[in-house]
A and B are shown apart, each in its own frame.
Chain A
Amino acid sequence: DVKVTQSSRYLVKRTGEKVFLECVQDMDHENMFWYRQDPGLGLRLIYFSYDVKMKEKGDIPEGYSVSREKKERFSLILESASTNQTSMYLCASSLIRTDGHNEQFFGPGTRLTVL
């Protein structure tokens, strides 16, 4: 089974702190994604990566950056956390397939609270 793990289930940080959210997948997937989930808004894509050291902005990249130094690990970085970044953060991974059956596998999520 594909396993996507995230470093923390719950995290509390203060405004202005630098925050690192880590995600690791064990199935050699090329694609990795970071979403944030907010009530009434569903999931919104922050960043994705389709290869090591490659990254692309999603729909809401402002205030975030990412790092992918190894294929299995994708990090989301909040350079200076703000209260409006309080949210649930979900990591996902998928294979690159030409038939479109690139199901995304999700981690358990990290509930981040910024005070």
Chain B
Amino acid sequence: AQTVTQSQPEMSVQEAETVTLSCTYDTSESDYYLFWYKQPPSRQMILVIRQEAYKQQNATENRFSVNFQKAAKSFSLKISDSQLGDAAMYFCAYRARFGMRFGAGTRLTVKP
């Protein structure tokens, strides 16, 4: 079974600085999809960014980018120019055949 590990329960960053959230996963599949979801205090989960495993190029969405290391099974999220609105729980997820496998989450605090 696939597992997803987020080793940082909490992280903090100064406003306008850059922060990287770590994620590792375990799978025997060669083609798969990885996601980062954000859950603000209001609790509605929203997709931040996704990565197809067959693509070597790292995905980027505005201030959010990933560092996908397939051989190391690592999928970190970098947030540049952090904003107060980035404060949230961040979940790394692996798309299984049905549903997702989620990590335990990282709570990000943004300090003004």
Binding site for B on A (CB under 8 A): 31, 33, 35, 40-45, 48, 50, 56, 58, 88, 90, 92, 100-104, 106-109
Contact = CB atoms under 8 A, between A and B. Distances in A.
Contacts of B99: 33, 35, 45, 48, 58
A88 B43 CA distance: 10
16 contacts: A40-B9, A42-B91, A42-B102, A42-B103, A42-B104, A43-B93, A43-B102, A48-B98, A56-B98, A100-B32, A100-B33, A101-B33, A102-B95, A106-B46, A108-B44, A109-B43
Nearest to A40: B104
B47 interface: yes
How large, as a class, is the contact surface on chain B?
Answer: 20 to 34
Interface in B43-88: 43-47, 50, 52
Contacts of A104: 47, 100
Interface of B: 4, 6, 9, 31-33, 35, 37, 42-47, 50, 52, 91, 93, 95, 98-105
B48 to A, nearest CB: 11
B47 A108 contact: no
Contacts of A31: 98
Nearest to A45: B99
Contacts of A45: 98-101
A20 to B, nearest CB: 20
A87 to B, nearest CB: 13
Contact of B52 (A33, A88, A100, A102): A100
A8 B84 CA distance: 29
A54 B93 CA distance: 24
Contact of B45 (A48, A102, A106): A106
A40 B107 CA distance: 11
Given A42-B102, A43-B102, A44-B102, 8 more contacts: A35-B99, A40-B9, A43-B91, A45-B100, A45-B101, A58-B98, A100-B32, A103-B50
